[in-house]
Amino acid sequence: MGLLYIVPTPIGNLLDITYRSINILKKVDYIISENIKHTSILLKYFSIKNKLLKLNTCNEKEKKNKYIIMLNNGKNIAIVSNAGTPVINDPGYLLVKHAYYNNIRVVPLPGACAAITALSASGLKTNQFCYEGFLPKKQKSCEKKINSLCKEIRTIILYESPKRLIHTIKLIKKIMGSKRKIVIAKELTKKWENIKKGTVKEILNIIENNIYWEKGEITILIDGKKKNKDNILSSKILNIFNILKKEMKKSTAIKITAKICGFNKNILYNNIIKKKYNEVD
């Protein structure tokens, strides 16, 4: 039984490939590539001579069977994409999935990935994040998706085409508000690498009417929604009020809640209880 290696390639700077990746690309029987012309340039740069086979999103369903047979027959195969980690918004998922059905060992190599590279430099929270790939192209589905991410508290990572950048940031502004912090990371590891961080409004000011942002590869990061301390406090106070209200008159419950929480009873009533009263009652 052969091995299926997942081999990341640089996302711009050709030096961002590991020794191990080069060794594997030299020693496997075949390299499966998203684009033969593109991969040939990389192989030439590192003096790697090997046989290339095609696998792209259009032919993956059909080609995977052929490659599984080759793996079953003992051939070692490496999969690469045009840039970064294969399978991550790149072809290969079906092949990996079927490798498992056939008890073929999948060997992942660590390496370049635009999402992680951008995240590491974003200055946004990195201990919890979610990767969402590309947003849907259709306006309605795109809005729906951003809406569904609105309350996400983890840092959100998106891939985006430069042509849609302004449109997407405008949608983020419309749905998440102009104050949400975002980062746009352009051309990472390349000569014109540029990372900008600011509120949605500030970033929009930078990229609007500037053709510089209409080209190049872009990764967007959105700060997760911050927990509103006032809301947490309000809900704790309301909790106390609700418990007391079951045992006594409403006015007494307000008075005692105010005492427990150290508020003036009128302020407590007008600012918290009255506002929520419909939900509370």
Counting contacts by CB under 6 A, is residue 9 touching ligand SAM?
A: no
* Residue 166 structure tokens: 């302004």
* Residue 134 structure tokens: 């590309």
Counting contacts by CB under 6 A, is residue 114 touching ligand SAM?
A: yes
Question: Cα separation of 103 and 68, whole Å?
Answer: 10
Beta strands, E only, the chain: 3-6, 30-33, 52-54, 77-80, 105-108, 129-134, 155-160, 181-186, 194-199, 218-222
- Quick one: 7 or 70, whose CB is closer to ligand SAM? 7
- Quick one: 60 or 90, whose CB is closer to ligand SAM? 90
Counting contacts by CB under 6 A, is residue 92 touching ligand SAM?
A: no
Q: Taking the CB of residue 174, how many other CB atoms lie within 10 A of it? A: 13
Cα first-last separation, the chain: 67
Contact criterion met (CB below 8 Å) for 182 and 199: yes
**Chain position carrying tokens 């430069």:** 162
The residue from 42, 43, 83, 175 that contacts ligand SAM (CB under 6 A) is 83
Question: Cα separation of 82 and 33, whole Å?
Answer: 8
Counting contacts by CB under 6 A, is residue 223 touching ligand SAM?
A: no
Stretch that binds ligand SAM, among 59-67, 99-107, 109-117, 221-229 (CB under 6 A): 109-117
For the CB of residue 30, give the shortest distance to ligand SAM in the complex, in Å: 20
Which residues within the stretch 11-70 sit at the binding site for ligand SAM (CB under 6 A)? 11-12
Counting contacts by CB under 6 A, is residue 89 touching ligand SAM?
A: yes
- Quick one: 23 or 161, whose CB is closer to ligand SAM? 161
Counting contacts by CB under 6 A, is residue 135 touching ligand SAM?
A: no
Counting contacts by CB under 6 A, is residue 81 touching ligand SAM?
A: yes
Counting contacts by CB under 6 A, is residue 185 touching ligand SAM?
A: yes
For the CB of residue 224, give the shortest distance to ligand SAM in the complex, in Å: 20
Judge residue 227's burial from the number of C-beta atoms within 10 Å of its C-beta, 0-12 exposed, 13-18 middle, 19 or more buried.
exposed
Counting contacts by CB under 6 A, is residue 85 touching ligand SAM?
A: yes
Question: Cα separation of 187 and 193, whole Å?
Answer: 5
Question: Cα separation of 27 and 167, whole Å?
Answer: 45
Question: Cα separation of 168 and 162, whole Å?
Answer: 10
Contact criterion met (CB below 8 Å) for 183 and 122: yes
For the CB of residue 137, give the shortest distance to ligand SAM in the complex, in Å: 13
For the CB of residue 32, give the shortest distance to ligand SAM in the complex, in Å: 14
For the CB of residue 117, give the shortest distance to ligand SAM in the complex, in Å: 7
Residues that bind ligand SAM (CB under 6 A): 11-12, 81, 83-85, 88-90, 113-115, 159-161, 185, 187-190, 217-219
